[in-house]
Amino acid sequence: MKILVFAPNSEIWVHAFPEALAVEALQQEGHEIVYVSCGTAFSEFCVPMDMHRLTPDSTSEEKSAVCRSCSANAAILRGQFRFPGYSLAERLGEDERSTADTLLGGITRDNFLDFSLDGIPLGRYSVYEFVLRHKLQELRLDDRLWKECRIGLRNCIYTHLALRRILSEERPDRLVVYNALYSVNHIAGAIARSKGVAVYFVHAGGNIAHRLQKLMIGRGQNVRYYEDAIERWPAFRGRPCPPMLMAEITDHFLELLSGRSGFVYSAPKVAGANDVRSLFGIPPGSRVVTAVMSSPDEMLAARTVDAKQLPANLLFATQIEWIKAVIAFVAARPGLFLIVRVHPREFPNRREGLKSQHALKLEEALQALPSNARVNWPDQNVSLYALAEETGVFLNVHSSAGKEMSVLGLPVVLYSDSLALYPSGINYVGLTQEQYFAQIEQALAAGWNAAHIREAYRWLAVEYGYGLLDISDSYVQRETMRPDLPQRVLNRAMRFFDPKHREKSDCRRRAGRLAAGRLVNSIIAGGKASVLDAADPARLGSATEAEETAALRVEMRRIISALYGAEAQSPSGSLHASLHRFAHDSSP
């Protein structure tokens, strides 16, 4: 079998190296590999340049430095892994470049979303990371944004023209990319599928404590991978979570609480910090409902590139419409108090320096509130977990906060059964106004429940365990663990003498054969949809329900320690008290 690997982002080593490990496993099983890197095809602007915080207006020398480093990484991978191949730039001739110029000449900001080539909607597929980079809520572009959008569109046209030629010459059986939603990867996948070539993506796992030691492999694209796992959830819902896997899931939660990872937007939870009732003026005895908002640009990006569509008859067309309905509901119930938590990503943060279009609309929409409603703006630096201590019910759209609060045993209410990328059944769901607000009332009446913890861990066992491959025998780097001072000094010295010392060391340290290599082959060569099709979940252990309960109590004690430190008090009715009672209960 011939496998074409389209790897234009070699500069992002934490993507490129794990992908290479999977590809090497395929090569060791006897498959022919063709490894296609970028070269300088995307020299105007690209994903690695964005990672280095460059912009389309950065200098040519700054951009060239990224291209040189990216090409050096690609050369290391080709040399160390013995991957035959070439760069996209080498297959992008003058004819293709001239054709791209001609095509771009006929595209305007008014018609670019309708632009297609060979039946593939390049205009729409080209904007995925562009929408996320600028936190857009709509695709009406000013001169500055249109100039940048044209660069991404040119990259996609180059990809289409070059890959069309490469696929005709190589005639592969499979195409492999890292993250199938990146615009040029999406285009490559679309062309491959049009020629009957199955497309597979790889991606790091979602558990941020072990992100680089786990690998997601699936057919198609990332969102479909989660949807497939959700469809399989009924087969796993009754399966107790093994203690070893449960401990890894808790590791993820502890990283969320620490706030160290760049993938975490919430402020860290500090024991004793954030007196939520005082900060928001919540009267004694009022029951708190917290609505956690999401970034609408993520949904716009997914919808525009055909990764996910809004369900028909969605209860609320926009999040602002949803929040206004919830405000009206709470305003008529003086015993309740609403906190509207605006997603930190809407405003400048440590990962992105922009304020979103949606944030401006929120500032206008959330001005005149009833006395029993307040907004938690990101600049207040309030931890989500401080809010959890006072919240009786969380309301969610599609934020991962929904499953995080379930891990704490708190009830969560959704207004759609298909927007979130986790099973809606682990939360309360109301699909009509009457059902939705009845579900909020029911969740308030039911309150905290350890059953939510059990369900959340069982789902996360699928998402972070059964559905992933373990590559820890070949990749040990952990993004959230900072080396000690002597090691940092040594690393700096080694980089001075050889800027690619780390990359070469990773290659030398990898296992001779990846332990999960046969699974990689079973999935990709065997035409499976994902790891869930190819691997027995029992490989990660099994447990009885009693063993699961005992392990859950152990993990809750770890979470209690992280949430509350040495705090001795756990007032009756508080989240702390509920967690403590469950964690120290001796009943089976």
Rg over alpha carbons for the chain, rounded to the nearest Å, is 25
What integer pLDDT is reported at residue 352 of this predicted model? 66
Same domain, 390 and 428: yes
Residue 459 domain-assigned (yes or no): yes
Same domain, 481 and 408: no
3-state secondary structure 431-480: CCHHHHHHHHHHHHHHCCCHHHHHHHHHHHHHHHHHCCEECCCCCCCCCC
Q: Using the predicted structure, report yes or no on whether residue 267 has a pLDDT greater than 70.
A: no
- Do 324 and 366 meet the contact criterion of CB atoms below 8 Å apart? no
Same domain, 390 and 410: yes
Residue 551 domain-assigned (yes or no): no
The closest of 519, 507, 506, 511 to 473, measured between CA atoms, is 511
Same domain, 451 and 474: no
pLDDT confidence of 567, banded at 50, 70, 90? low
Same domain, 510 and 563: no
Q: Using the predicted structure, report yes or no on whether residue 491 has a pLDDT greater than 80.
A: no
The closest of 407, 374, 397 to 286, measured between CA atoms, is 374
Same domain, 261 and 380: yes
Residue 546 domain-assigned (yes or no): no
Q: Say if residue 363 is exposed, middle or buried (CB neighbours under 10 Å; 0-12, 13-18, 19+).
A: middle
Could you read off the pLDDT of 269-314 as tens digits, one per residue?
655 556 899 999 999 999 999 999 998 899 999 999 999 988 888 9
Could you read off the pLDDT of 406-454 as tens digits, one per residue?
999 999 999 999 999 999 999 999 999 999 999 999 999 999 999 999 9
Same domain, 579 and 495: no
CA distance 295 to 345: 7
CA distance 532 to 467: 5
Domain harbouring 250, CATH code: 3.40.50.2000
Same domain, 186 and 204: yes
Q: Using the predicted structure, report yes or no on whether residue 243 has a pLDDT greater than 90.
A: yes
The number of distinct structural domains making up the chain is: 2
pLDDT confidence of 546, banded at 50, 70, 90? very high
Residue 486 domain-assigned (yes or no): yes
* Mean pLDDT lowest among 76-80, 82-86, 576-580: 576-580
What integer pLDDT is reported at residue 272 of this predicted model? 53
Question: Region 345-356: what's the mean pLDDT?
Answer: 75
In terms of residue numbers, what domain contains 434? 240-464+556-583
Residue 22 domain-assigned (yes or no): yes
CA distance 570 to 573: 8
Same domain, 296 and 430: yes
Residue type present at position 523: I
Residue 548 domain-assigned (yes or no): no
Could you read off the pLDDT of 122-143 as tens digits, one per residue?
999 999 999 999 999 889 999 9
Check residue 393 and report its DSSP letter.
E
Q: Using the predicted structure, report yes or no on whether residue 539 has a pLDDT greater than 90.
A: no
CA distance 78 to 244: 36
Residue 550 domain-assigned (yes or no): no
Q: Using the predicted structure, report yes or no on whether residue 266 has a pLDDT greater than 80.
A: no
pLDDT confidence of 91, banded at 50, 70, 90? very high
| Neighbouring residues of 468: CB distance < 8 A, sequence distance ≥ 6 | 205, 214, 215, 216, 531
Residue 543 domain-assigned (yes or no): no
Same domain, 115 and 202: yes
Backbone torsions φ then ψ of 486, nearest 5 degrees: -60, -40
pLDDT confidence of 537, banded at 50, 70, 90? confident
Same domain, 336 and 451: yes
% the chain with pLDDT above 90: 81
Backbone torsions φ then ψ of 4, nearest 5 degrees: -95, 125
CA distance 134 to 183: 15
- Which pair of tokens denotes residue 207? 């558990």
Determine which helix (DSSP H) or strand (DSSP E) holds 280, and give its type and residue range: helix 276-280
Question: Region 157-162: what's the mean pLDDT?
Answer: 98
Mean pLDDT estimate for the chain: 92
Same domain, 448 and 474: no
